[in-house]
Structure 1
């Protein structure tokens, strides 16, 4: 029996798998996001309590003892903890937008590009660099009180195991301080961001990923537990995306596009990041866009529609959504991939009194699809494409995505991040598992040739509208 823990942005989940990779049981608990005036925070106590709660419920349902557990979770943000891993203040989420003025300064003075050329990481307001610099300016006492500035899963790992010090892994550390060649912190980047005097807050990097024994909260005492990688690379592992050129699209709160690569190219427009993996010389070229299911959630809520109606709404509007177009950049921190525009905002175009909720919903799904295509092209997709995430529960939307992307989609269902966390833990502990069986796709969805041709033209129009919107955002 193997357990994967996925500490998501809005939902904490734990899943149990047998040795052949069959998902046997899942427990989930929602966690609150406090969103106000560009600030997005989470209470660490609530997040940790949710982890313990889902683990207790899950393990109580299992007929067999847990042999091994793996941990993953949301990336970026800043989770300030004391020496025991307990919160100093609420966590600043990766969705937080308060540091956008700092990012504007760094974009203007060349710091932004200099960091990318050294690390392959394009800064955005919700990543640790800008957030730590913002805290240093506005809440220095919080940094003074902290022992470490960790990532979400690292806080959970330290608390579950009682580890004496905070530790992260190379995947989480990839944004924004890691040198992807040496797999260690680049102190030059720390200096560029004005954080040399806060260097001691950066957690140690477990390479390979850190391992420890559960102390008895949630998991039975003594259960082997491994920390990492974070949710994007964990999903890539869980979907079997490891061969160079193959890609993964995660249709979740964050619309994440990942392509496996052995090439490190720090040229071109600074955007996205290179995520270091458990194998030196292998990276994931990542374009984790802020646009995602959160945009669709907003449109459904605003139109009074329910998630259960999504397939019917998509069927009720034609391709092209009766002329309605949506640029789905709803995040208060703008966009971070495949470009960085902190002030970019969503646009609804072609709306009139005859526009129906179905038109708005389909236009949003199409707009998210266009954003995904943009990200995957920028990430260098050349091989097969897997897809997972909450958005794939809608068969109609998944089919629409295949048409917009113009390529077959290998749909991987279930708790893909938790599955990847288990596979990473098994590799760390030397437990042999059949990874091909664990990552077998549920089905393959082929695009419709006529609709794919239609959407290829729509994609070019999307890029034109986006260019004009980006120009306005910079004024």
Structure 2
């Protein structure tokens, strides 16, 4: 049995697989988020406790010897530990918006672009640079008490194994890492006013660290690897490793990733380059802030359940009777394929004759247009895999194929956990057939007529987006 651990933002999951990649079972626990005034935080002890709980459950439910475990989880944010490995304060989430004004300032004074031209990473309020700078100004005692600033899965790996505190290249890619040298760029640290806090940046283990479990959650001695964070782990789990091939993750975050052998620091800043375990290979990532969370908000507002989505999508035509949604619902604005901290969602074309079905379809279409924008900016030229909670809706998956105008390789199940296992197997020298582990469940082809309609709709979406961005800058 191989176990993949995925420490998400709202849910922790542990998935068990057999030797050919079939899921044997999944255990999950919800996680709480504290939200107030743009601040989004998580309790580290709650997160770690949920990890141990799901591991206890899956190892009890599937009583097979554990050959290997791999770890992945949410990226960005700031997870501060003291010298004893204890939390200094609640973790600041990647969804946090307290540093909005700081990012605005850096956009205005050129700091933002200067960092992008060195690292290929477009900073957003919830990434470590702005968050650390905000804490340094408003909560310096927290940084004084901390020994290291980690990412979520790094904290979990340290607690499960007792291994020295480190991070790895994928998590470290934003915003301090030079993507070519794969080391921290001290000039970037200086530009963000954090030179005096340089010692907080966790050492980068390249390749990623391996260790054995201490016996909490996993049997003592179980080999485990601190794998890539959830976006690149999903790419591995979906079989996206060739240059030009892409992955669209339709989850809480809407993320587009495309494999590349080149780092291009020109063009409009947006997204980031994620280093992989293969030097000379990157994932050009455009992780938009909001994916299924936008639809969740519309469903809760209209009193519609997730089970009704497919029926509602069938009940209104492409174009949703003129209703349009710009799906930028995050309180910290947007980060890919452009950065606009003040951008907000817009709902237009609504009248007394509009129905919940129109609102649902318009939201799904808007998310599809945002996904297409991200994929084009990331340089997609090859095949496209899709995964995430949104793909559990067959009707929405067909809609996405039509909006994107290309076949979709649908990869179901716990794709991030699967990628974590594959990464751990590579690090520990365990031979697994990656092609067998990442075979798509189905391929969904676009409908030519609907794709033509959405071609025009996409052009209109870009025009509305341009107008919205102009308004928030005024």
Instruction: Quote the offset at 1:316 in angstroms.
Output: 1.3
Question: Which residue is 1:97 aligned to?
Answer: 97
Q: Deviations over 1:151-189 (max 9, x none)?
A: 0000100011112x3111000000000001110100110
User: Matches of residues 451-470 of structure 1 in structure 2 within 5 Å?
Assistant: 451-470=450-469
Aligned pair count?
474
User: What aligned pairs does 1:50-69 form with structure 2 within 5 A after superposition?
Assistant: 50-69=50-69
SS of 2:96's partner is coil
CA distance in 2, matches of 1:313, 1:124: 35
Q: Which residue of structure 2 lines up, in the alignment, with residue 230 of structure 1?
A: 229
2:148 alignment partner in structure 1: 148
Q: 1:84 to 1:66 in 2, by over 3 A?
A: farther
Moved more, 11-20 or 61-70: 61-70
- Whether 2:270 is the aligned partner of 1:271: answer yes
Q: Identify which range, 35-44 or 174-183, moves more after superposition.
A: 35-44
Match in the other structure for 2:84: 84
The answer to whether structure 1 residue 181 and structure 2 residue 180 are counterparts is yes
**Alignment gaps of 5+ in structure 2:** none
- 1:208 corresponds to: 207
- Per-residue CA deviations over 1:122-160 (Å, capped at 9, x if unaligned) read 000000000000000111011111111100000100011
Deviates more, 1:427-436 or 1:77-86: 77-86
1: distance between equivalents of 2:101 and 2:138?
13
Q: Distance in 1 between matches of 2:119 and 2:63?
A: 46
Partner of 1:17: 17
- Pair 1:33 & 2:26 matched: no
* Structure 2 match to 1:123: 123
In 2, distance between residues paired with 1:309 and 1:142? 46
TM-fit CA distance, 1:84? 3.4
Tell me, yes or no, if the aligned pair for 1:41 and 1:96 is still in contact at 8 Å: yes
The answer for the alignment partner of 1:336 in structure 2 is 335
Secondary structure in 2 aligned to 1:215? Answer: coil
- Partners of 2:245 and 2:99 lie apart in 1 by 34
Is residue 2:377 matched to residue 1:383? no
- 2:300 aligns with 301
Q: Distance in 1 between matches of 2:299 and 2:283?
A: 32
Q: Which residue of 2 aligns with 1:170?
A: 169
**Does the 8 A contact of 1:178 with 1:185 survive in 2?**
yes
Deviations 1:403-441 (A, max 9, x none): 000000000000000000000000000101100000000
Q: CA deviation at 1:352?
A: 1.1
CA distance in 2, matches of 1:34, 1:450: 45
Residues 177, 186 of structure 1: 8 Å contact kept: yes
Q: Offset of 1:318 from its aligned partner?
A: 1.0
Considering only aligned residues, what root-mean-square deviation do their CA atoms show, in Å? 0.6
Instruction: Indicate the larger mover: 308-317 or 330-339.
Output: 308-317
Equivalent residues in 2 for 1:385-464, closer than 5 Å: 385-464=384-463
Q: CA deviation digits over 1:44-84, x for unaligned, max 9?
A: 11111100000000001123110100000000000111223
Distance, in Å, in 2 between the alignment partners of 1:394 and 1:11 is 20
Shift in Å, 1:34: 1.2
How far is the alpha carbon of 1:296 from its aligned partner? 0.6
Shift of 1:291: 2.2
Q: Deviations over 1:192-245 (max 9, x none)?
A: 000001111100111111011111111111111100200000000000000000
Runs of 4+ in 1 over 3 A off after TM superposition: none
Shift of 1:449: 0.3
Structure 1 residues not aligned, in runs of 5+: none
CA distance in 2, matches of 1:335, 1:34: 21
Q: Distance in 2 between matches of 1:22 and 1:46?
A: 30
* Cα shift readout 1:92-148 (whole Å, capped 9, x = no counterpart): 110101101000111011110110010000000000000000000111011111111
Structure 1 residue 85: Cα displacement: 2.7
1:314 Cα deviation from its structure 2 partner: 0.9
In 2: Cα distance, 1:85 partner to 1:324 partner: 51
> Shift of the alpha carbon at 1:86?
2.1
Q: Tell me if the contact between 1:245 and 1:261 (Cα under 8 Å) persists in the aligned partners.
A: yes
- State whether residues 83 and 166 of structure 1, in contact with CA within 8 Å, keep that contact through their aligned partners in structure 2: no
On the 8 A contact 1:84/1:158 being kept in 2, the answer is: no
How far apart in 1 are the matches of 2:84 and 2:210? 17
| Mapping of residues 250-261 of structure 1, within 5 Å | 250-261=249-260
- Cα pair 1:25 1:58 within 8 Å, conserved: yes
